[in-house]
Chains A and B, each alone.
Chain A
């Protein structure tokens, strides 16, 4: 789960990680009041969406008067912001963060992610703040300093020194920076974060370090022990269909092809998409019905797949282990009663109770349902059916 910049900064504040002062606004009038409350002469109006690259997309603007804050807030609120991370459809801006202007002397980068190979969190720092870290990693990897921290012992002084010397900080700057990094590590661990990114982390004219931006993502498996973070969930940032699917224990991701897929298991679901692609078709979605699939969840799966107008055929590919094939077969029957399944459905059921399932489908004799013997046969039939539908 991801959160907004202003929410990340609330968590930063709790841990003593310094940020500029700011207040969230839903309306231009509120934006103006916020700017007055903050005081000063310069404000930044920042679109709050779950994607990077907001500045380049026109979602972060500088205001030099209270009137300009209002003007910019009305411009940004309600706009559809397109960045390299939102996809071409962009994201609707519903909130703006009004922040006091900062005296930027230098821009750095600081982030923490899990290093899967080392199996511990790694702190990454760079002098190349304000640029996409992926580009820095690609073009000038030597400009990224990486320090892995063993959670069994936690953040030590030497971790801080390696980062500070790596960034070329002056002696009098090191203490403040190391405290900053140590606090960030603490909040990463205590909140079960998956990633934190501060880009840029600025050095001010007075020698302070401030998180000018803040991006955080959390381990979904750990949200149960962090109700305060679960409360920060912004459902408008999530795909409505994916969310609905998850309520029924289905894992769904929409894609831009023509063949709907319903599969058990994430690996087989991806393998099914790959096979469709290999045979000259295009998958319309990823859908894992999970280990406890029943008639209701399968019917729901059909409903969600068929919401996509591009779907010309559906391939149901089940290898029953825990999932019993007869349950899936009954689910298909149920679905055809509840949902108008107007496209051909190719069904391959193998594994636990497959013969019973075949019998159920045969006896039901539903128009539109085509049986397949194995994965290759099913994918080929689905691709052919989708081509025919054009």
Chain B
């Protein structure tokens, strides 16, 4: 088992024929992902990477039966692409593009929610169910199949965490990179119950960072509803206030959103909080051996 995506998930790519879209779609196919087509306006009717290209998402969905879209369009067109996917009946859009304006994402996410479409990202590495389905840009070889679910705002910390978990002799069910923008799709609070319900997931790793309060919301949720062990790391304990640390949303503003307050909230919720990402693997081994 896994969450959200598996070996049978049918995926289309918006921005299929572009440089990034092509490169990563090919990598995903090599991993085993069922990429059943793509959308590039005015290239409909052609073929790319052995799959059909459509002018619109509606056509792509009608012809292929795809339920998930991986979005690689340039930042200015992200909102349009997300809304098109939602209107066409896609149920999950994975938005890889970095640099989408916040105002656009407000509108796009509200529209997606209204149409019952879930989103992951933007500005994220995507989602991977180990050895089944990779929808994103992560290096697939790190993710060995196992019993640990992973949720992370940071791409490279997803790899770091997964790699350590696997080196300790464990593996991953599904890993979700949720992105570090001020407005994102699925977050800890929505993903935690999915991992709780997945019988194959025995422990959950959550990696957060400074800025916003999603980790605090997660802590409250964990306290009430999560029975599986959770290991957490919050990046940015040494980050100065008022500075944007790479990710658009990674900023301590007005003294709020610090690593310290998030770590304290998670600890109070019974989460095993580590102070360095180098400790993630060992902490997972510890909580799993206690079970």
Does A376 sit within 8 A of B, measured CB to CB? yes
Candidate in A251, A266, A268 with the most chain B CB atoms within 10 angstroms: A266
Q: Which residues of B contact A137 (CB under 8 A)?
A: 254
Does B41 sit within 8 A of A, measured CB to CB? no
* Interface residues in A267-321 (C-beta closer than 8 Å to B): 267-271, 273-279, 283, 286, 288, 319-321
Does B160 sit within 8 A of A, measured CB to CB? yes
Q: Do B101 and A286 touch across chains, with their CB atoms under 8 A apart?
A: no
Interface of B is mostly: loop
Interface of A is mostly: mixed
The contact size tier of chain A is 35 or more
Does A214 sit within 8 A of B, measured CB to CB? no
Which stretch (A30-38, A65-73, A167-175, A220-228) binds chain B? Answer: A220-228
What residue of chain A has the Cβ atom nearest to residue B167's Cβ? Answer: A374
Give the CA-CA distance A264 to B214 in the complex, in Å. 24
Q: Which residues of A contact B138 (CB under 8 A)?
A: 321
Q: Do A194 and B156 touch across chains, with their CB atoms under 8 A apart?
A: no
Q: Which residues of B contact A220 (CB under 8 A)?
A: 248
Does A255 sit within 8 A of B, measured CB to CB? yes
What residue of chain B has the Cβ atom nearest to residue A224's Cβ? Answer: B76
Q: Report if A375-B160 is in contact (Cβ < 8 Å); known contacts: A116-B182, A267-B247.
A: yes
Q: Do B209 and A253 touch across chains, with their CB atoms under 8 A apart?
A: no
Does B183 sit within 8 A of A, measured CB to CB? yes
The one of A263, A275, A283 in contact with B276, judged by C-beta atoms closer than 8 angstroms, is A275
Tell me how many residue pairs across A and B have CB atoms closer than 8 Å: 165
Contact bitstring A118-143, B, C-beta under 8 A = 1, else 0: 01100000000000011001100000
The one of B156, B212, B217 in contact with A267, judged by C-beta atoms closer than 8 angstroms, is B156
What residue of chain B has the Cβ atom nearest to residue A271's Cβ? Answer: B277
Give the CA-CA distance A368 to B154 in the complex, in Å. 31
Q: Which residues of A contact B106 (CB under 8 A)?
A: 119-120, 151
Does A352 sit within 8 A of B, measured CB to CB? yes
What residue of chain B has the Cβ atom nearest to residue A264's Cβ? Answer: B156
Q: Do B103 and A189 touch across chains, with their CB atoms under 8 A apart?
A: yes
* Interface residues in B133-185 (C-beta closer than 8 Å to A): 137-139, 142, 152-157, 159-160, 163, 180, 182-183
Give the CA-CA distance A202 to B248 in the complex, in Å. 33
Give the CA-CA distance A28 to B125 in the complex, in Å. 54
Does A355 sit within 8 A of B, measured CB to CB? no
**Distance from A217 Cβ to chain B, minimum over Cβ atoms (Å):** 10
Q: Which residues of B contact A275 (CB under 8 A)?
A: 276-278
Q: Do B276 and A270 touch across chains, with their CB atoms under 8 A apart?
A: no
Does B239 sit within 8 A of A, measured CB to CB? yes
Give the CA-CA distance A116 to B102 in the complex, in Å. 10
Does A117 sit within 8 A of B, measured CB to CB? yes
Q: Do B107 and A271 touch across chains, with their CB atoms under 8 A apart?
A: no
Q: Do A274 and B237 touch across chains, with their CB atoms under 8 A apart?
A: yes
The one of B103, B125, B246 in contact with A151, judged by C-beta atoms closer than 8 angstroms, is B103
Q: Do B245 and A376 touch across chains, with their CB atoms under 8 A apart?
A: no
- 20 A-B pairs, CB-CB below 8 angstroms? A114-B102, A117-B217, A150-B110, A189-B103, A192-B101, A219-B102, A221-B101, A265-B246, A268-B235, A268-B277, A270-B239, A271-B277, A274-B259, A274-B275, A276-B238, A277-B238, A321-B125, A322-B137, A376-B278, A379-B278
Residues of A within 8 A of B (CB): 85, 114, 116-117, 119-120, 133-134, 137-138, 150-152, 189, 192, 194, 219-222, 224-225, 251, 253, 255, 263-271, 273-279, 283, 286, 288, 319-322, 350-352, 374-376, 379
